[in-house]
Every structure is written in C-alpha cells, then in structure tokens.
Amino acid sequence: MIHFKLFILAIATVFFINEVGSLFLGSRYHDWKDKSLYSAKVEKLGFKSVALYNTQHHSEYMLNKVLKAKSKNNGTKYYDLTLLVYRKCRGGKVCITKLHCLASMDPKNKDKTKIEVDKMAE
C-alpha cells in the first residue's frame, strides 16, 4: 500500500511540475517582443507615423531611422516604435528629435490601423 501511495505521489508531482512550468511560459506569450528594425512592416509604420505627426503638428519631419521596435499580440497586434526624425531648421541646420509611436491593428480589418504619435522629452 505504501508503494502505491508513493507511486501516486510521484505521478502527482510530475503533473504539478509540468502544469506550473506551462503557467509561466503562457504568461510570456503576451509580453512585448523585440522586432527587427529593418522589417518592411516596421519601416512602413514608421513612415505612416511621421506623416501623421506632420499633419497633426504642421511640421516637415522626415524619418531617419527606427531606433527601437517592439510588438505584442493579444488578439490585437500592437507595435511600440521609437523613431529618429529630422528636419531643416533656420540657418540651414538640421534639427533631430525622437518620436514615440504606439500603433494597434485589428486582425480582422488590417486597413484600420490606429496610430498615436508623440514627441519624446529630450
């Protein structure tokens, strides 16, 4: 009888360890993941974000490069971008600034992309 109880205890321990491990792995599924800075989708979002910022703030910034890109998917795809942009200032100088972009895409309707762009504090 003792051997049977030890066998049941061993089986229960194995199932418990497997279940606890999968709980931690499942929670990381919805975390932010780094994206390639040079992927077509990230660059396209960068250009759209700069164009949106220019129309909202009546400025003439141009995208230099994407500094940081992250994504997360929990039914809706989210992108978090940090952009380096520039424009010509007075005296022929170049003014550089950073923009922060948060974009969300509905997987059912990919044409409707919500983009929020703000200038980062310097």
Average pLDDT, the chain: 86
pLDDT in tens, 8-62: 888 878 777 766 655 555 555 678 899 999 999 999 999 999 999 999 999 999 9
Distances (CA, A) of 102 to 4, 29, 32: 57, 19, 12
Distance CA 58, CA 2 (A): 80
Asked if residue 51 and residue 20 are part of one domain, the reply reads: no
Asked if residue 36 and residue 25 are part of one domain, the reply reads: no
Instruction: Show Cβ contacts of residue 88 under 8 Å, excluding neighbours closer than 6 positions.
Output: 60, 94, 95
Asked if residue 35 and residue 25 are part of one domain, the reply reads: no
CA angle centred on 114, ends 111 and 120, rounded to 5°:
140
Asked if residue 52 and residue 4 are part of one domain, the reply reads: no
pLDDT in tens, 78-110: 999 999 999 998 888 999 999 999 999 887 777
Q: Break the chain down into helix, strand, coil percent, rounded to 5.
A: 40, 35, 20
Asked if residue 67 and residue 44 are part of one domain, the reply reads: yes
Q: Domain residues for 24?
A: 1-30
